[in-house]
């Protein structure tokens, strides 16, 4: 069965520091999709990125970058030069091509301290 583990429950860093959020997944499918979502204090859920299992290229979007490594079943998220507005709960998620369900990790609460 598919599984997503976000081992870091809560992280605090000082503004401008870099921070990496870990995501480890389990799947038996060869075709699958990985996601990151952000939930700021206001409560809405915002899509950040989607990756399919055949695309291991790392992605960078401004201060955000994602490192996908099939060898370690990880899809980690790094924020460079963090800002207070990055404070949120971040969820990693996995869906399999052979299934119609998406499974979320338990989330990592990130505090950026001014």
Partner 1 sequence: NAGVTQTPKFQVLKTGQSMTLQCAQDMNHEYMSWYRQDPGMGLRLIHYSVGAGITDQGEVPNGYNVSRSTTEDFPLRLLSAAPSQTSVYFCASSYEGTPNTEAFFGQGTRLTVV
Binding site for partner 1 (CB under 8 A): 6, 9, 33, 35, 37, 43-45, 47, 50, 52, 91, 93, 95, 97, 100-107
Q: What angle do CA 27, 77, 11 make, to 5 degrees?
A: 110
Closest separation between CB of residue 23 and partner 1, Å? 12
| Distance from chain centroid for Cα 37 | 7
Tell me how far, at minimum, the Cβ of 10 lies from partner 1, in Å. 10
28 vs 101, beta carbon nearer partner 1: 101
C-beta of 12 vs 83, nearer to partner 1: 12
Buried b (16+ CB within 10 A) or exposed e, 62-85: eebbbebeeeebbbbbbbeebeee
Measured from the CB atom, is 56 or 97 closer to partner 1?
97
Short-list 19, 6, 24, 37, CA closest to 78? 19
Supply the minimum distance, in Å, between the C-beta of residue 45 and partner 1: 4
């Amino acid at each position: 069965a598919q599984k997503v583990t976000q081992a870091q429950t809560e992280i605090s860093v000082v503004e401008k520091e870099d921070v990496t959020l870990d995501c480890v997944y389990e799947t038996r499918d060869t075709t699958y999709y990985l996601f990151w979502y952000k939930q700021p204090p206001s409560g809405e859920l915002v899509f950040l990125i989607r990756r399919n299992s055949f695309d291991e290229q790392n992605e960078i979007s401004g201060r955000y970058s994602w490192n996908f490594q099939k060898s370690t079943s990880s899809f980690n998220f790094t924020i460079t030069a963090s800002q207070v507005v990055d404070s949120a709960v971040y969820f990693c998620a996995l869906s399999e091509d052979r299934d119609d369900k998406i499974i979320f990790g338990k989330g990592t609460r990130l505090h950026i301290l001014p």
